[in-house]
A and B are shown apart, each in its own frame.
Chain A
């Protein structure tokens, strides 16, 4: 039919001034700071700033602690996600909601809560002290703070993944003579893998940027608990170059994780 007769409903006419204005404000707020950061960091001194001992310590600590917290998330979070997705038990809805709480809880509050339980005079701290375990202001405390704020993202995502695998698919595998363990390994796990990766990417991004809970529960000791976000905050007053370099590294890593996340999503959508 001639173009003139096409329904006009779908074609807004005129310039959307209001929306464009809102977009401009959001761009200044969201994108401009990051671009400015990258531009300022990209100085000839970038490499030497990154090789500064304090920066190297922070980089190393961030990598080590997040790798440990991701391994623990994988190990502990996967069975929990499976349980929540596949079993019905009393109080399950409450438990499910409680496990989401860290996502909305302000990280500083998380740090205070951790201190109240594991601190020297905390709920369990006294008992731990007796057996010679002191958690606050150690590297272990950094990992715990990261687990606290990041693992719920993983559990949430992987729970959705287990929920998306039809149980009948597993049932068919049983009728074909395959044990439940083999069925999990060859049917369930491969199908949940994209969700597993997505959950890890989200959790890792969150753990890498963790600041509030860490500074309260683990403090800021160079080489022991001062991860990159803490190092940036510390350096901001004395050594702006280092702060900028570390910030740029975090920004680029975050962007890479975002790309990885999108890629995983597109692979998953293509296979469904």
Chain B
């Protein structure tokens, strides 16, 4: 899993006046996703890696090669960085056919250029559309041409900027799978920029959460979804429930938190007994006890709102003290439990899914 040299080693600063980009990141993962809200500096970070944007200071290293270093004055031109950049809007050359676009990406067009272009179009499943112009291709096909063009230069690293944002939802779902498989097959290390959690978890092993120009958390998908670094990351990854309580006891690596008359158990996070703490839990992990069971320690609340989300229902519960609690249920479960708006309900908050969200203050 771990390689000797990091895939990405970034520590730079780029001041744009109203916005400062200063990410610090060392990742050995071969599939990295820069994840965060728009305006967090993800795409700009990618442009710094390509050499199209130049930092004020710091260093950019990819797979052991120093691309930029303000200390030594080194700054490789975009031409010499050998990276496969696929921009957000693909930016195919409109006056060239699909195969000409791919051919343009070759670093040396020797005698076997035609064969190589054919191979690459094969890789992206577009062999039949080689002579089409970009305007005659669908969004998904354009993306695959841009991908093949980036691969043509035998890049050390692939950089994909929001690869699906220009596509509609149906195509997007198909292409995600396709791209995940293709990336695995060709094995070139990849850095992906996205604000979509599904994309990030499907196409990357390591997610780098960025916010206001900084890296705020680095981890796997599950880690991020269940153990976000703070309340803002929690919101970003859909951990929408925040319960404010008081620590009553700390035993080893777990603690007890008093919340609205309940004793909740959660992992300890350095909070002293008697301090306030916020616990997060995902709506997916607010659970219903088995029908007909008589569990104790359940949280009682009534259904105040239900929203349909495909075949799932996002249900807002309100506790006796007026705290809102979201849960996500399949329609099937909703029917089986014969739930309806206004009804009172008992739910389980398991220690395993509760996670303290940073700041021990109040």
Contacts and interface: CB of A to CB of B under 8 A. Distances in A.
Interface in A122-180: 166, 168-169, 171-179
A171 B78 CA distance: 8
B95 A271 contact: yes
A176 B91 contact: no
Nearest to A183: B79
B81 interface: yes
Of the candidates A176, A178, A187, the one having the most CB atoms from chain B within 10 angstroms of its own CB is: A176
B77 A169 contact: no
Interface in B86-104: 87, 89, 91, 93-95, 104
A121 interface: no
A33 interface: no
Interface in B33-63: 50-52
A242 B6 CA distance: 83
B301 to A, nearest CB: 51
B95 A191 contact: yes
A271 B93 CA distance: 12
Given A177-B153, A186-B104, A172 B91 contact: yes
A190 interface: yes
13 contacts: A171-B52, A171-B78, A171-B87, A175-B78, A175-B83, A176-B105, A176-B149, A176-B150, A177-B153, A179-B79, A186-B104, A191-B94, A191-B95
A170 to B, nearest CB: 9
A184 to B, nearest CB: 13
Interface residues of B, number: 27
A175 B81 contact: yes
A174 B95 contact: no
B214 interface: no
Interface in B76-134: 77-85, 87, 89, 91, 93-95, 104-105, 107, 133
A168 B89 CA distance: 10
A207 B51 CA distance: 45
Given A168-B87, A186-B104, A271-B135, A174 B93 contact: no
A175 B104 contact: no
A168 B91 contact: yes
Contacts of A176: 104-105, 107, 149-150, 152-153
B79 A178 contact: yes
A207 B248 CA distance: 91
Contact of B50 (A173, A175, A190, A271): A175
Interface residues of A, number: 18
Interface of B: 50-52, 77-85, 87, 89, 91, 93-95, 104-105, 107, 133, 135, 149-150, 152-153
Interface in A235-272: 271-272
B93 A169 contact: yes
Nearest to A175: B85
A177 B82 contact: yes
Nearest to A178: B79
A175 B85 CA distance: 7
A172 B89 CA distance: 11
A45 B196 CA distance: 78
A160 B111 CA distance: 39
Contacts of B52: 171, 174-175
A245 to B, nearest CB: 43
Contacts of A166: 91
A177 B107 contact: yes
Contacts of A186: 104
A48 to B, nearest CB: 48
A175 B91 CA distance: 12
A179 to B, nearest CB: 6
Of the candidates A169, A175, A179, the one having the most CB atoms from chain B within 10 angstroms of its own CB is: A175
B91 A169 contact: yes
- For the complex of A and B, list the 9 residue pairs with the smallest distance between their C-beta atoms, beginning with the closest: A174-B78, A175-B85, A190-B95, A175-B78, A172-B91, A176-B105, A177-B79, A171-B52, A169-B91
Nearest to B89: A168
Contacts of B105: 176
Contacts of B107: 176-177
Given A169-B93, A191-B95, 15 more contacts: A169-B91, A171-B50, A172-B85, A173-B93, A174-B51, A174-B77, A175-B83, A176-B150, A177-B80, A177-B153, A178-B79, A178-B104, A179-B79, A187-B93, A271-B135
B79 A174 contact: yes
Of the candidates B104, B107, B133, B152, the one having the most CB atoms from chain A within 10 angstroms of its own CB is: B104
A166 B81 CA distance: 22
A173 B146 CA distance: 12
B243 to A, nearest CB: 46
Contacts of B91: 166, 168-169, 172
A35 B95 CA distance: 41
Interface in A87-129: none
Contacts of A172: 85, 87, 91
A169 B90 CA distance: 9
A270 to B, nearest CB: 9
A177 B104 CA distance: 10
A271 B94 contact: yes
Contacts of A169: 91, 93
B120 to A, nearest CB: 13
A177 to B, nearest CB: 5
A190 B100 CA distance: 14
Contacts of A168: 87, 89, 91
B104 A173 contact: yes
Of the candidates A173, A177, A186, the one having the most CB atoms from chain B within 10 angstroms of its own CB is: A177
